[in-house]
Amino acid sequence: MNACLKFYLSFNNCCLNRSGLFALPAILVLATMLFQSKPVAAEQNTAFHPAPGMFLVAAPKMRDPRFKQSVILLVEHSSEGSLGFIVNRRTDMTVTDAFPELEQQMELEHALYFGGPVQPSRIMFVYSEPNQIAEHKVINGVYWGTNYDNLKEILNRKGEDALRIFFGYAGWGPGQLEFELSLGDWQVFPASADHIFSEDSKRLWHLLNQKKSGVITQRSYIRLSPYL
């Protein structure tokens, strides 16, 4: 409603000339532009709320250096708090660096990701797996877990594109994430398996921000049009 009110006031100010009469050509130009921008606004300007299976995308103005340009996959969110993993912070460490005993049973080496600053000694993982080994569902076909035996079984038969292993996680207490959202620290987007397991995770933050900037460009063009 706030966006609609701002637009309404802007519309009235732009369409009244100095004598207080409506400027008809300006109205026609504005109407044409609004019709052209509707598909973009409908796709991008949806208000998403934090929930399991959503991405938290750090705002460009993020003040906490630990989360600068981070993309966090939320896996738990309730009145008791929230938990997620940074999916775009791949490290130079591998699974066998952390678990040398697994080297003999792994078909492929796997990189470790920095999941967040909470409990960095703890290993958690996100994976695509049939239901018989599923622990906690994130989105359809994607789960997260902490069970070491399950991780060993997955490592035996899964490629790297279907598994992300994290040390540490990002956590929020009751109401803390909502407060950060009210400050504009995060944008919320639906997560997808393609993005979660992207081979080019370093570009994920830029990719999601490009989607958001498309709306900003459209709105800026409407406000700054010389015809108004």
Q: Domain containing 131 — which CATH number?
A: 3.40.1740.10
Q: What's residue 222's pLDDT?
A: 31
40 shares its domain with 98: no
10 shares its domain with 88: no
33 shares its domain with 61: no
Most confident of the ranges 76-90, 119-133, 187-201: 76-90
- Residue scoring higher pLDDT (87 or 209): 87
The CA-atom distances, in angstroms, between 35 and each of 7, 41, 101, 112 are: 14, 10, 61, 47
Structural domain contains residue 169: yes
Structural domain contains residue 207: no
**pLDDT grade, residue 8 (50/70/90)?**
very low
- Residue scoring higher pLDDT (129 or 166): 166
Is pLDDT above 60 for 46?
Answer: no
Is pLDDT above 80 for 185?
Answer: yes
Q: Range with the lowest mean pLDDT among 5-19, 74-88, 116-130, 146-160?
A: 5-19
**pLDDT grade, residue 39 (50/70/90)?**
very low
21 shares its domain with 71: no
Is pLDDT above 70 for 51?
Answer: yes
Q: What's residue 17's pLDDT?
A: 41
Structural domain contains residue 204: no
Instruction: Give me the number of domains the chain comprises.
Output: 2
Structural domain contains residue 206: no
This prediction's pTM? 0.70
Is pLDDT above 90 for 35?
Answer: no
160 shares its domain with 69: yes
Structural domain contains residue 203: no
Structural domain contains residue 129: yes
Cβ count near 1 (within 10 Å): 5
38 shares its domain with 150: no
111 shares its domain with 188: yes
- Which of 3, 201, 17, 8 shows the shortest CA–CA distance to 114? 201
111 shares its domain with 80: yes
Is pLDDT above 60 for 135?
Answer: yes
Range of the structural domain that residue 120 is part of: 54-197
63 shares its domain with 109: yes
Structural domain contains residue 105: yes
Mean pLDDT score, 7-17 = 40
Structural domain contains residue 228: no
64 shares its domain with 42: no
Q: What sign does the CA torsion over 90, 93, 94, 95 have?
A: negative
Cα 24-7-225 angle, rounded to 5 deg: 55
59 shares its domain with 126: yes
150 shares its domain with 174: yes
